[in-house]
Amino acid sequence: MLGDFVYCNPTKLYFGEHSLDGLAKELPNYGKNVLLAYGGGSVKKSGLYDEIVKILKDCGKNIIDLPGVMANPTVEKLYEGCKLAKDNNVDLILAVGGGSVCDYSKAVSVSTYCNEDPWDKYFLRMEDVDNKIIPVGCVLTMVGTGSEMNGGSVITNHAQKLKIGHVFGENVFPKFSILNPTYTFTVPQYQMVAGFFDIMSHIMEQYFSNQDDNTSDYIAEGLMKSLIHNSKIAVKNPKDYEARSNIMWTATWALNTLIAKGKTTDWEVHMIGQAVGAYTNATHGMTLSAVSLAYYRKIMNFGLKKFARFAVNVWGVNPENKSDEQLADEGLKALESWMKEIGVVLHIKEFGVDESMFEGIADATFLLEGGYKKLTRSEVIEILKESM
């Protein structure tokens, strides 16, 4: 059954090889001061930085540079960005990079004018925004998070060993996002496939949850099939435009809030994965892949019919003369085979996790109620053991 919902997504997308042309169309809507946020040297090495700077200057903008946004943005980096934005009276934050830069920019947008510690207010207490928000635009160079069309933001606090995401409302969504698949061609293979699994995990987190038989589930199955097909092509040829463009579009639809409508959604894999990431600083998508199989095997019997459907509709498992238990098991084995084929991490020990960390990781894991079963703390530890 499909539950009641309201749907609104205000982000304008420019998609394709000429999508950067959209930046000059958007810039007149904002004031003079632009905070340009980006990660390491890849955007400069590729020439994209220079292209964007030229467009900004041609449009009469004053550029405030904010380099060095890391893969897991920290609370210290957040404070740095807030000071820079406030001191320069920033009118627009332009995020150039992957999901981490987009996430970070949204955090800066809501935190700059926060009248208390934004970490406490937004990431610990999960309160709504009640202060001035600086608008955000995105130029995406890596796919996976869907951050280009949602209100999500994840920040890491190493001192507290916490990595927490806050899903803000539509007023925090990027005002516009520019998606050129060719910008993703130079992403290293490890990061590329981590992004692929992040996409898959986003879809599964919404698919394996209550309110099971509805339109959202049929859309989710189509998105997963598209991702599986195109990821196999992209792993062999990362510059296959058709595959990379399909994956980029799938990533956006996987987490632009559409397929969550009318459903409860799970997100426990993300809670465990983010806790692992807080302890290890490992790549986000890989922390998800390393704990997913153990988690889904743990909850499979509580949503057996859906796992059986997943096997048949997504992986093409032949249901003839098979029980739901057999189908569900074959579906997870097919998922595991695909994970091995694209080359994601399957064990948390690869991040340096050992048993001495289990208690702390379990303490850092938020236990949610949206899936087929709410975990206990001891079950989180069991999943960590099975993920080694």
Residue at 306 is within a domain: yes
- Do 141 and 82 share a domain, yes or no? yes
Q: Give the structural domain span for 90.
A: 12-183
Residue 240 sits in the same domain as residue 108: no
193 and 178 inside one domain: no
Question: Which residue matches tokens 């579906």?
Answer: 331
pLDDT of residue 344: 98
Overall residue count recorded for the chain in this entry: 388
Distances (CA, A) of 273 to 253, 336, 359: 22, 17, 14
> At 138, is the secondary structure helix, strand, or coil?
strand
Give the pLDDT mean for 63-90: 97
Q: In sequence order, what are the beta bridge partners of 359?
A: none
Mean pLDDT of 368-385: 96
| Domain end marker among 183, 218, 249 | 183
Residues 236 and 202 in one domain: yes
Amino acid at position 286, single letter: M
Tell me, what's the pLDDT at 1? 65
Percent of the chain past pLDDT 90, that is, above it, reads 94
What is residue 3's predicted lDDT score, i.e. its pLDDT?
75
| pLDDT at 213 (0 to 100) | 77
User: Residue 89 region, left (φ>0) first, then alpha (ψ -120 to 50), else beta?
Assistant: left
Domain presence at residue 212? yes
- Number of domains observed in the structure of the chain: 2
End-of-domain residue from the set 183, 217, 241 = 183
Q: Domain for residue 1, yes or no?
A: no
Between CA 357 and CA 375 the distance in angstroms is 19
pLDDT, tens digit, for every residue of 159-183?
999 999 999 999 999 999 999 999 9
Other Cβ atoms within 10 Å of 374 Cβ, number: 13
Question: How far is residue 289's CA from residue 291's CA, in Å, rounded to a whole number?
Answer: 6
Q: Is residue 7 part of a domain?
A: no
Write the CATH number for 102: 3.40.50.1970
User: Is residue 5 domain-resident?
Assistant: no
In a domain, 6, yes or no: no
Confidence of residue 4 (pLDDT cuts 50, 70, 90): confident
State yes or no: pLDDT of 239 exceeds 90: yes
SS3 376: coil
**Using 50, 70 and 90 to split pLDDT, how confident is the model at 40?**
confident
Same domain for 156 and 210: no
Residue at a domain's end among 159, 183, 207: 183
pLDDT mean over 33-55: 94
Give the pairing type, strands 92-97 and 33-38. parallel
One domain, residues 212 and 169 = no
SS3 state at 14: strand
**Is the model's pLDDT at 64 over the cut of 90?**
yes
pLDDT value at residue 322: 97
Q: In the structure encoding, which two tokens stand for residue 124, read together?
A: 């610990």
Mean pLDDT in residue range 38-44:
89
With respect to residue 256, please indicate whether it lies within any of the assigned structural domains. yes
Q: What is the pLDDT of residues 204-222, one digit of tens each?
A: 999 998 777 789 999 999 9
Question: What CATH number is attached to the domain comprising 366?
Answer: 1.20.1090.10
Average pLDDT (348-359) is 96
